[in-house]
Structure 1
Amino acid sequence: MAEQTRRLVLGGATTGVVGRCRDFTRRALADWQWPAETEAVEDVLLLVSEVITNACLHGGGPRELVLRHTRERLRVEVSDDSPDPPRRRPPGDRALPGGHGLIVLERLSSGWGWEPAGDGRPGKTVWLEVSGQDARRSCP
Structure 2
Amino acid sequence: MTGPLGPAGQVRRLALYESRGAVQHCRDFTREALHDWGWLPAVDGERLAVAEDVLLMVSELVTNACLHAGGPRELVLQRTGGGLRVEVSDDSVDLPVLQTDRPRSSPGGHGLRVVDRLAASWGSVPRPPGKTVWLEVEQPVDDR
Q: State the TM bucket, normalised to the shorter chain.
A: 0.7 to 0.9
CA deviation profile, 1:110-135 (whole Å, cap 9, x unmatched): 00000000xxx310000000012xx2
Q: Structure 1 residues 70, 93: CA separation in 2 closer, same or farther (over 3 Å shift)? A: closer
Alignment RMSD: 2.0
Letter in 2 for 1:10: L
Q: 1:99 Cα shift?
A: 0.7
The separation in 1 between residues aligned to 2:14 and 2:75, in whole angstroms, is: 5
Give unpaired runs (5+ residues) of structure 1: none
The separation in 2 between residues aligned to 1:40 and 1:27, in whole angstroms, is: 15
CA deviation profile, 1:15-46 (whole Å, cap 9, x unmatched): 11100000000000100001325111100000
Provide TM-score, normalisation by structure 1: 0.86
**1:124 and 2:134 correspond:** no
Aligned residues: 132
Q: 1:89 Cα shift?
A: 3.9
**1:8 and 2:14 correspond:** yes
The separation in 1 between residues aligned to 2:40 and 2:92, in whole angstroms, is: 35
Question: Identity of counterpart residues, as a percentage?
Answer: 58
> Does the aligned pair in 1 maintain the 2:13–2:77 contact within 8 Å?
yes
Q: Which residue in the other structure is 1:106 paired with?
A: 116
CA deviation profile, 1:57-76 (whole Å, cap 9, x unmatched): 01110000000003412000
Matches within 5 A, 1:1-140: 1=1, 2-11=8-17, 13-36=18-41, 38-89=48-99, 91-92=101-102, 97-117=107-127, 121-132=128-139, 135-136=140-141
Q: Structure 1 residues 33, 56: CA separation in 2 closer, same or farther (over 3 Å shift)? A: same
Give unpaired runs (5+ residues) of structure 2: 2-7, 43-47
Which consecutive segments of 4 or more residues in structure 1 shift more than 6 A?
Answer: none
- Secondary structure at the counterpart of residue 124 of structure 1: strand
